Chains A and B, each alone.
Chain A
């Protein structure tokens, strides 16, 4: 029997995963979402910023990572706006620009960028710079001289016509740099080109795959916080809920938890089957 279980058809696993993951989206269970210390550290750092600070949000991901990163990117922008912070949206991935605009539309309304805060140095002021080519080289250039790197925003408006940009000229002007990252360039490059040379505080919301890579930087104090994948986004949403943000990830986190339970069960069964067949063979 154990040998049969060990050789279970992979499609059986797919069907079970599909059933267990899709059911909670229909019928949410409401499992608790405890908040990790990395998420709390991120939230507290943003909370502690002076109200006139400029937060640079870097949307370094594409549609494939959007299910994990878009919810935290939207909640992060909403959090900054609620605190009266100024936000500058930038991306070093070409695919990130429309996702940044989508996040801004979710927070500022569908009229974005035709909103009173756009380009203004006021509470909740915002500018969408858009895509900067060059990858890590572009990021380094952006840190050393923003205006020399690019002089127009995503919509073609010159920085000279955007009062908020007059306060954003080099990395030392950034309150914090937040990188929603799915790879390279991402938060690790931001640490190399912003935290290292200029002492900018760097935080990240990462895909779950990138968290093991980012964690040593958090331990070393080079990252002020990490939102770890969909779970981190759900935790952060629960914290930002205090400002009126409607959590979107309660049911998905139920689905995530059930999916994990199933994988754990299969890992255990697979190993038991392996051990049993090995014993049978006298190994």
Chain B
């Protein structure tokens, strides 16, 4: 019985949690907080289980390892367990060993990888960009390449602080600033796209609940109407029912009293 209704329960639960989470757009409320806390708890448990499973596969189940008596693989497991000393005051220093291992290996890998792929390869790619096309026609004037090269040079000049940024260097730095602003605008555009994609994803989920006989999608017009009603009610309700309006600041604040020499003066917001 439970196995039969479990998928439907999951869908209904998911649909309501989706709506709960989106209620935060209106204001902070217990429903959105409950959904958030549920997510955090589930995610923590899920990640713990998955990482444990993966560690078992890597250190124990893989042929030639602990399951076959290769006790060398106890070493990384023991080092891993030393992370737990984070929670003790007395042996906290032992926690530094696994952190040192990870930091050391990570730093070594990142330095090599970064220099090779993010520094040398990027510079080489910029140097190789042709400023003139190889054929007459569409590709004879590679505008993209010219913009990239100009962008790189002007942005670099923006971060060149050895000399005062005036004259040609100032002009270049200003163009570099505009190039960066264009890049930020592009990043913002992609962010909008991503956020709307996520909304579409949840709406599609609600739409697909109809396959299970639960028409959560049709709650959306209901939600919109409810939002409009609440918005109208909030705008038209009497001020007495609402929170007290903020007290206007006095026209001229009185001169502060000289604090005692031994006390540190603390700025306090005036409330009346």
Contact = CB atoms under 8 A, between A and B. Distances in A.
A94 B47 contact: yes
Main SS class of interface, A: helix
Interface stretch (A42-50, A103-111, A152-160, A238-246): A152-160
A163 to B, nearest CB: 16
Contacts of A159: 63
Contacts of A207: 194, 197
13 contacts: A17-B196, A25-B207, A130-B54, A131-B50, A136-B110, A152-B57, A193-B109, A208-B190, A209-B191, A219-B125, A220-B122, A255-B203, A259-B199
B193 A192 contact: no
B122 A216 contact: yes
Nearest to A62: B43
A160 B228 CA distance: 62
Given A25-B203, A67-B201, A152-B57, A260 B109 contact: no
B148 interface: yes
Contact of B61 (A151, A222, A230): A151
Interface in B10-69: 25-26, 46-47, 50-51, 53-55, 57-58, 61-65
Interface of A: 9, 11-12, 14-15, 17-19, 21-22, 25, 64, 66-68, 94-95, 97, 130-133, 136-137, 140, 149-152, 156, 158-160, 188-189, 191-193, 195-197, 207-209, 211-212, 216, 219-222, 228-231, 252, 255-256, 259-260, 263
Given A21-B200, A150-B57, A137 B106 contact: yes
B77 interface: no
B24 to A, nearest CB: 11
A256 B25 contact: no
Contacts of A209: 187, 190-191, 194
Contact of B190 (A133, A212, A222): A212
Given A67-B202, A137-B105, A152-B61, 18 more contacts: A14-B25, A18-B199, A21-B200, A22-B203, A22-B220, A25-B200, A95-B46, A97-B50, A131-B50, A132-B54, A132-B58, A151-B62, A192-B110, A192-B118, A212-B183, A220-B126, A256-B196, A259-B200
B194 A192 contact: no
Interface residues of B, number: 57
Contacts of B122: 216, 220
Given A11-B231, A211-B190, A25 B201 contact: no
B143 interface: no
A156 B224 contact: no
Contacts of B64: 151
B118 to A, nearest CB: 7
Q: Among the interface residues B194, B207, B217, which one has the most CB atoms of the partner chain A within 10 A?
A: B194
B110 A230 contact: no
